[in-house]
Amino acid sequence: MFTSRAEYRLRLRDDNADTRLTEQGYSIGVVSDSRYHLYCKKMQRIASEKERLESIKVQLETDSHKLLEQNFNLTLKENKSLASLLKISNITYPDLMRLPTFGVTANSDIGHLVASDIRYEGYLARQDKEIESLIASYKTVIPKNINYQTIKGLSNEAIERLEIARPENIGQAANIPGITSTMVTLIKIYLKKNKYI
């Protein structure tokens, strides 16, 4: 699967496949107890390192602050946690490790995963809301006589696919190959605007 073509690719990163699938695999019996134990330990380490980075603050006018100014042209106006610094796109976990305030950790080998989780948490929360909204709307009925050509924003290819498939509801429309969540949203807007829902 090409994650770059996926609609919700932040959730489908190659570095988080085990966090997305191990729980499900274990629940259906395809992940061993030993593998699941390793997964749980890893998740605890990630959570522990996140908490640690949240608790460590870069104080103003300290050596760490001066390094941030020199290396990233970043002047802090207030004390900032190391975790909040990871939300600045050009600061990486190895950059934090070079700061005197970083301290010692046994979790540096999973630092890149911690950094990704922290950096994208706001986007992921927004994406999760979109996914929940989409799933909730799957049962919305699409009228049989709908004219897809009158829905602004749909490509000719999308119109053709929808005309051929004639989905009965939003869920079926979302499962048509080539129909993205953006196109599904356009259909929902059209239905609402024309008082079908």
Burial class (CB in 10 A: 0-12, 13-18, 19+), 121: middle
Q: Is the pLDDT of residue 125 over 90?
A: no
Kindly report whether the global pTM for this prediction surpasses the value 0.75: no
Instruction: Give the pLDDT band of residue 111 (cuts 50, 70, 90).
Output: very high
Domain ranges in the chain are 3-135, 138-193
187: left (phi over 0), alpha (psi -120 to 50) or beta: alpha
Domain 138-193 CATH superfamily: GidA associated domain, C-terminal subdomain (1.10.150.570)
For the chain, the straight-line distance linking the first and the last C-alpha, in angstroms and rounded, comes to 35
pLDDT digits (tens, 9 = 90+) for 28-70: 999 999 999 999 999 999 999 999 999 999 999 999 999 999 9
- CATH number, span 3-135: 1.10.10.1800
Element (H, E) at 57: strand 57-58
